A and B are shown apart, each in its own frame.
Chain A
């Protein structure tokens, strides 16, 4: 059986800057994987490269459910089953989330099903506060994250990638977000959660944890890898793996406001 996501030798550069440097990763259907990595290691770039954002020079391969997505336009990739909960989702002034989803239902042949999922997920994830407001406009940090997760639940992708969905949230919100992620799991979807904190992991049961440093997955293991990382820090792990420690980028850390 094909995997939800199979990435091989993925490189991405912007101009002369190489951000992803030959990245390999597999997420089987039904599994939840976690990528941890310091700021600036290329986690968000991985999301954009999977989604097909213009502006990157990309080589390698990324298969979703057995189909190559690299080279396809963004909307085609979404149709093939890629969905990202963005770290910094773009505001669409004057367009409500409901209108966006209605337009999508109008386009898709399974529009009625999509409509039903909107109603169901709106109820489950209490989407009230953001469904009838402009997309990511004037929402709090937490509402933006919930809006992104809500859309993933509605889209039912084959591979769902959640980029720092826990940053800037208080403890209760992190638990809620984690529960929503667990609820998303099923045998027909692979979930890839990107974070740089352990915090959310205590509410999740991932199958695997990957450590990403400087554009590569440098280590993969079970959930215990997260604890090890907690003890040693990224620098310790890098030293152990015999990797040159790069200059630590400025830690924008928990301050999600920085990206708004």
Chain B
């Protein structure tokens, strides 16, 4: 085990690139300066951080991997990140998958454009300060691979902190498809701060699905950022079905004219889970479009939060941006917050949001029961239908069966155990 405080002064492997070296220095400094966030701060309002990063240690080596999970898919290129260590990385004919330390310097340099801010919060500082290696996935210029790259991120050594890092680079006019699943054993305690950053080049397409299937003892403070170039397309699907505390800060920047992003997702909280989604969509260039569609449900004493900010900068005219967040609250002690925000500095834009929080629909229940379905089955069908709309928009439909059953099983189990 490597306690963070001991790491602060010890000799380390050289950082994989100059910008990562810089950020390591800054991260260490900021980690010292910044206090742990508290729920007094607006952005951490719904989160009870019952631990301090200072008390945590990185595992000194990767633990034993878990067996194949439910979300494994057919793929060519693939990689495994265990306890923050890249333990395997396999390229295919099209896509380069490498440890950062083995990557070409110019590719690593290019990736800086989509770097996550080191001063985002103390977790980002810790990630840069203490994280060493990472994974780089590159679709070279003009290459086109529709076969997804499968990245299996696991935390397996209990009572540790891991800092998995993934850099995705879809070079100009390329097509890249990536599925990342995050897993940990069900019962032990894990802390994870994963970073996923993506650069979508001019005219490039990136399809990315992230499945948060962490075990129930895991606190995952995820940070993601995507930057999309001219006429680039980013389609991101997110499924939040695990963890005790799952926070995801993700930002998408439409940096080049004509860039388009499509974000779809679903989450389901049970027991005492807290799922906290912070979305930042920034339109920096004209003629850019973005659409976000997230659906969530909470039961038992679970709590979900969605805060979404669409920001349209002054020079970003002729922009079209929309976000939808719909939440089902399935238990009296469960709660959901949905806070969409718009910040519009340009004057020729189409922009809007829709947000709902509520119980199952009485009219739908009545209609279904009028066909003879009992209440339990009617409600089950309604919950299933609720998520179907989100599933239909996910970028990798081959994952839908597994995601659909994970979500629906939670509700069915609650019904069977009389919690619904």
Other A-B pairs beyond A75-B378, A78-B369, A134-B385, 10, CB < 8 Å: A54-B362, A73-B375, A77-B370, A90-B363, A93-B388, A94-B384, A100-B368, A103-B380, A108-B372, A151-B371
- Whether A25 is near chain B, meaning CB under 8 Å from some CB there, is no
Interface residues in B360-393 by Cβ distance below 8 A to A read 362-364, 366-375, 377-378, 380-382, 384-389, 392
- A104 with B388: in contact, given A53-B366, A92-B382 (CB under 8 Å)? no
> Sorted from nearest, which 3 A-B pairs have the closest CB atoms?
A94-B388, A94-B385, A78-B372
- Chain A contacts for B362, CB-based, 8 A: 54
Q: Is the CB of B363 within 8 A of A94?
A: no
- Chain B contacts for A155, CB-based, 8 A: 371-372
Q: For the complex, give the distance between the alpha carbons of A86 and B371 in Å.
A: 11
- Chain A contacts for B372, CB-based, 8 A: 75, 78-79, 104, 107-108, 155
Q: Is the CB of B388 within 8 A of A51?
A: no
Interface residues in B313-344 by Cβ distance below 8 A to A read none
Q: For the complex, give the distance between the alpha carbons of A171 and B119 in Å.
A: 69
> Could you tell me the distance in whole angstroms from the C-beta of B202 to the nearest C-beta in chain A?
36
- Chain A contacts for B363, CB-based, 8 A: 90
> Could you tell me the distance in whole angstroms from the C-beta of A133 to the nearest C-beta in chain B?
12
- Chain A contacts for B370, CB-based, 8 A: 51, 74-75, 77-78, 83-84, 86
- Whether A95 is near chain B, meaning CB under 8 Å from some CB there, is yes
- Whether A188 is near chain B, meaning CB under 8 Å from some CB there, is no
- Chain A contacts for B392, CB-based, 8 A: 94
Size of A's binding interface in residues, CB under 8 A:
29
Q: Is the CB of B387 within 8 A of A100?
A: no
- Chain B contacts for A24, CB-based, 8 A: none
**Which of B369, B372, B373 has its CB near the most chain A CB atoms (within 10 A)?**
B372
**Which of A75, A93, A101 has its CB near the most chain B CB atoms (within 10 A)?**
A75
- Chain B contacts for A79, CB-based, 8 A: 372
**Which of B381, B384, B386, B389 has its CB near the most chain A CB atoms (within 10 A)?**
B381
**Which of B367, B375, B377, B388 has its CB near the most chain A CB atoms (within 10 A)?**
B367
Q: Is the CB of B389 within 8 A of A94?
A: yes
Q: Is the CB of B385 within 8 A of A95?
A: yes
- Chain A contacts for B375, CB-based, 8 A: 73, 75
Q: From B378, which residue of chain A is reached at the shortest CB distance? A: A75
- Whether A99 is near chain B, meaning CB under 8 Å from some CB there, is yes
Q: For the complex, give the distance between the alpha carbons of A73 and B373 in Å.
A: 11
Q: For the complex, give the distance between the alpha carbons of A238 and B384 in Å.
A: 50
Q: Is the CB of B364 within 8 A of A103?
A: no
- A74 with B384: in contact, given A107-B373, A108-B372 (CB under 8 Å)? no
Q: Which residues of B contact A (CB under 8 A)?
A: 362-364, 366-375, 377-378, 380-382, 384-389, 392
- Whether A89 is near chain B, meaning CB under 8 Å from some CB there, is yes
Q: For the complex, give the distance between the alpha carbons of A92 and B388 in Å.
A: 11
Q: From B372, which residue of chain A is reached at the shortest CB distance? A: A78
Q: For the complex, give the distance between the alpha carbons of A135 and B368 in Å.
A: 10
Interface residues in A54-113 by Cβ distance below 8 A to B read 54, 73-75, 77-79, 83-84, 86, 89-90, 92-95, 99-101, 103-104, 107-108
Q: For the complex, give the distance between the alpha carbons of A53 and B388 in Å.
A: 26
- Chain B contacts for A104, CB-based, 8 A: 371-373
- Chain B contacts for A84, CB-based, 8 A: 370
> Could you tell me the distance in whole angstroms from the C-beta of B7 to the nearest C-beta in chain A?
48
Q: Could you show 20 A-B contacts with beta carbons less than 8 Å apart?
A: A51-B370, A53-B366, A73-B375, A75-B373, A75-B374, A75-B378, A78-B369, A78-B371, A79-B372, A84-B370, A93-B389, A95-B381, A95-B382, A95-B385, A100-B368, A100-B371, A104-B371, A104-B372, A107-B372, A155-B372
Q: For the complex, give the distance between the alpha carbons of A83 and B372 in Å.
A: 9
Q: Is the CB of A90 within 8 A of B367?
A: yes
Q: For the complex, give the distance between the alpha carbons of A55 and B318 in Å.
A: 48
- Chain A contacts for B364, CB-based, 8 A: 90, 92
**Which of B363, B373, B389, B392 has its CB near the most chain A CB atoms (within 10 A)?**
B373
Q: For the complex, give the distance between the alpha carbons of A83 and B369 in Å.
A: 11
Q: For the complex, give the distance between the alpha carbons of A43 and B131 in Å.
A: 70
- Chain B contacts for A92, CB-based, 8 A: 364, 367-368, 381-382, 385
- Chain B contacts for A93, CB-based, 8 A: 385-386, 388-389
> Could you tell me the distance in whole angstroms from the C-beta of A67 to the nearest C-beta in chain B?
15
Q: For the complex, give the distance between the alpha carbons of A86 and B384 in Å.
A: 23
- Chain A contacts for B374, CB-based, 8 A: 75, 107
Q: For the complex, give the distance between the alpha carbons of A219 and B13 in Å.
A: 94
Q: From B361, which residue of chain A is reached at the shortest CB distance? A: A90
Q: Is the CB of A74 within 8 A of B389?
A: no
Q: For the complex, give the distance between the alpha carbons of A118 and B381 in Å.
A: 19
Q: For the complex, give the distance between the alpha carbons of A107 and B373 in Å.
A: 7
- Chain B contacts for A95, CB-based, 8 A: 381-382, 384-385, 388
Q: For the complex, give the distance between the alpha carbons of A54 and B389 in Å.
A: 28
Q: For the complex, give the distance between the alpha carbons of A135 and B381 in Å.
A: 11
